[in-house]
Amino acid sequence: MTLEDMFSLKGRIALVTGGSRGIGRMIVEGFLAAGCERVYITARKGGELHDTAEELGERVIPIQGDISTLEGIDELVAEISGREDHLDILVNNAGSAWGADYLEFPEAGWDKVMDLNVKTPFFLTQKLHGLLTANASQDKPSKVINITSVDGQRINPWETYSYQASKAALIHLTRRMAARLVKDHIYMTNIAPGAFPSNMNKVARDMEAESAAGIPNKRVGDKYDMGGSAVYLASRAGDYTVGETLTVDGGIVNAHLPTHFADPAGGR
């Protein structure tokens, strides 16, 4: 047994939605380090998308588009299908958030978030089924990794109703889809990130010290944490992990003690 046997992605073809920045880019860098032959990345904004592809090198191929609609999903699937005869790894990372007071929370903030965070991973995976199964086998399964959030596992302090609902839904949807896809040698899992600097998590990005103070291991996540976790699930090392949520958060969900708690001695 060697590290390459366990973690190499040599020769694999991957697609990472929302791969131009933040957590998506961290995953792309991890896949490149593990030897992926080609990594396709998508984003709505072409400038940043192409800049990222240029920075990361010729193995990264940008495809601009809006996958929050079925039409956009169909366009992406057609583009990938015209370039590749199979796909080994899909990372459903593209997502959005919306915060507003409960009494003022708008329908637009509900629909936009639920569509991109829940509907898109389902239908993109469904429509890529042919490519994902084309080269899949028990010895070399295809992988689908959904990016959820610790906010789908516990309540956060902000009024981001549709975001928290969407991430909890995606965690359970991952289990349901994994139960169906495993028989086709497609193994679906998800990663639930905690505080990683990004445009979506501006607190971790712009107030790193303050954010880190509330995390049990006292730092925010970085590209090694996220890239390494994605490589584990995508590689041979993760072939016996199906339908699971890998929480990558420095201990926020499972090792966080409450600030105030009852005296076990009853005050005596």
Q: Which residues are catalytic?
A: 163
Neighbours of 155 (CB within 10 A): 7
* Torsion sign over Cα 175, 179, 180, 185: positive
* Cα atoms found within 13 Å of the Cα of residue 152, Cβ hemisphere only: 27
Q: 90-125: b or e for each residue (b if 16 or more CB lie within 10 Å)?
A: bbbbbbbbbebeeeebeeebbebbbbbbbbbbbbbb
Residue 122 C-alpha from the chain's centroid = 13
φ, ψ at 220 (rounded to 5°) = -85, 165
The alpha carbon dihedral of 192, 52, 131, 125 has a sign of positive
